[in-house]
Structure 1
């Protein structure tokens, strides 16, 4: 079985690793008639093309910056940041194989049989966040009236921004993608016209305190998908350094993907291989990885400059309003 781990100690760059991994995986898939691994190759090619031919990111980020400038004019009392990244190779590989494991497990638990290859391939046709941007807002306390609820005010502004974002970007060559009812919002603050496009992790209960609005766009010029997340600073803190941060998320995924007991080894080759790839990634010792621009002391302390693990920053815009900076009275 071909796995990403086999290529992470060679001293190659991320692009060289991807090219070798894709080539070897495709040969193996053809020899074994493994259609899921062929889909896997296509997925990895998407990542490689994003890293290798990223000129479009300049154009894309400039269009998104137009919304940044719009917000600076429309909401002068708000502080906000715009961030962006390409999903890192290790995270993307883990997510792809994790989808296979979780889908086959859930299908088997429900039906007592394994899904067909077309059903697995359809489940894998859901990656829309290889490129993602995030808007994080905050209302400085000095601009709040004494009895105003800061949290409620920030959420009100967040939904106001969500209501205008789809049309703004559609006028600049993007198409908002319907969610198909996934995490449909019941918030009265969200306009009915945009409701079908948002996955709302703010309205309703959340098991891990994660809160955010997610919307996916198709960039008609670059011919690729991108995801945008909208959060208040408090929501972003909880997601980044609080109880909903990625370490907790990864631990949850490890648990959900570790349900080996329900699927007998040899029962489904696609489950077996995806499960093993997930397990190997979970056991990866990052301090031994030899990839250009990457150094790690352990699995928590790392310096990643190559898009290998934490992703690469592509939109480092930050706005602090002139009001917050006390430039005027």
Structure 2
């Protein structure tokens, strides 16, 4: 069985690693008539093309920048940041194999048999966040002193922005993707016309501490998907450094993807291979990897200049509210 780990100690660039891994994986998939590995190799080809070709990212980021400029004019009281990233190679590989493991495990527990390959293939066609942008807004205290009132006003602003975003980007070559009823908004501030496109982690009463609005677009120019997340600064703090931080989310994912007691080894090659690839990635010692432009002191101190681990930042913009410099009054 071929795994990404086999290529991470070569000293090659991330592009050469991806190419070699993809070519070898596809050869083995054809030899063994493994449909899922063929999908896997095609997924990696698409991912490599996103990393290698910058033209469409430049064009895409320019369109996002247009919305940034619109917000500067339309919301002068707000401070906000726009950032975009391409998912890192290790995270993308973890997610692909994790989808296989989770889906087969849950299906087997429910039906006591393995899912048909077409069902699994459909599950693996749902990658929508290889490219993702995040908008974080804040209403500075110089405008509203009361914390509760300011938080309520920020949420109203967030939904106002959410109502405008789909139409704005559709005029620039994007198509909003339906969320298919997943976490559909119950907020009175969200327009009925855009509700079908958002997954609303704020108003739907899921009960978790994570809050955000998520929407997916198809970029008709690059023929790729991108996800946009909208949050207030408080929501972003909770998601990044608070109770809903990504490290806790990753730990839960690791727990779910480490389950295998219900699946007898050797019965389902798709599960066995995805499980093994995932476990090997979890065991990576980043300081031992030899990838050009990548260096890690340990698994916490990471300097990733090539999108191997943390991802590649493609759009950093920050706007300060007008009059924000008048805070010291």
When normalised by structure 2's length, the TM-score is: 0.97
User: After the TM superposition, which of the residue ranges 316-325 and 88-97 deviates more from structure 2?
Assistant: 316-325
Query: In 1, distance between residues paired with 2:301 and 2:203?
Result: 35
* Residue 101 of structure 2: aligned partner: 101
Check conservation: 1:208, 1:243, Cα contact below 8 A.
no
User: Once the 2 structures are TM-superposed, how far is the Cα of residue 241 of structure 1 from its aligned partner?
Assistant: 1.5
SS in 1 for 2:261: helix
Match of 1:173 in 2: 173
Partner of 2:115: 115
- Distance in 2 between residues matched to 1:321 and 1:27, nearest whole Å: 55
CA displacement, residues 179-216 of structure 1 (integer Å, 9 cap, x when unaligned) = 11111111111110000000111113446521110000
Distance 2:287 2:323 in 1: 45
Check the 8 A contact 2:184/2:198 in 1, yes or no. Answer: yes
Shift of residue 321, structure 1, vs aligned partner: 2.3
Once the two structures are superposed, what CA deviation does each residue of 1:217-249 show, in whole Å capped at 9, x if it has no partner? 111111111110000111111111122222111
Question: What do residues 133-152 of structure 1 show as CA deviations (whole Å, max 9, x unaligned)?
Answer: 00000010110155861211
Cα contact 1:94–1:281 (8 A) shared by 2:
yes
Other-structure match for 1:135: 135
Equivalents in 1 of 2:279, 2:205: separation in Å? 31
Please state if 1:11 is matched with 2:11: yes
- Whole-Å separation in 2 of the counterparts to 1:98 and 1:194: 31
Post-superposition shift, 1:293?
1.4
On the 8 A contact 1:88/1:308 being kept in 2, the answer is yes
- Deviation of 1:322 after TM superposition, in Å, equals 2.7
2:306 aligns with 306
Contact 2:140 2:321 in 1 (8 A): no
Q: Structure 2: give runs of 5+ residues left out of the alignment.
A: none
1:51 matched residue in structure 2: 51
The Cα offsets for residues 279-300 of structure 1, whole Å up to 9 and x where unpaired, read as 0011111010111111111111
Q: Which residue of 2 aligns with 1:296?
A: 296
Give the secondary-structure state (helix, strand or coil) at the position aligned to 1:226: strand
Q: 1:255 and 2:255 equivalent?
A: yes
Aligned match of 2:61? 61
Segments of 4+ moved more than 6 angstroms = none
Give the aligned partner of residue 215 of structure 1. 215
Task: Provide Cα deviations, 1:54-105, integer angstroms capped at 9, x if missing partner.
Answer: 2111111111111101111111000000000000000000000000000001
Q: Partners in 1 of 2:224 and 2:325 — Cα distance?
A: 38
Give 2:201's aligned residue: 201
Q: Secondary structure at the match of 1:143?
A: coil
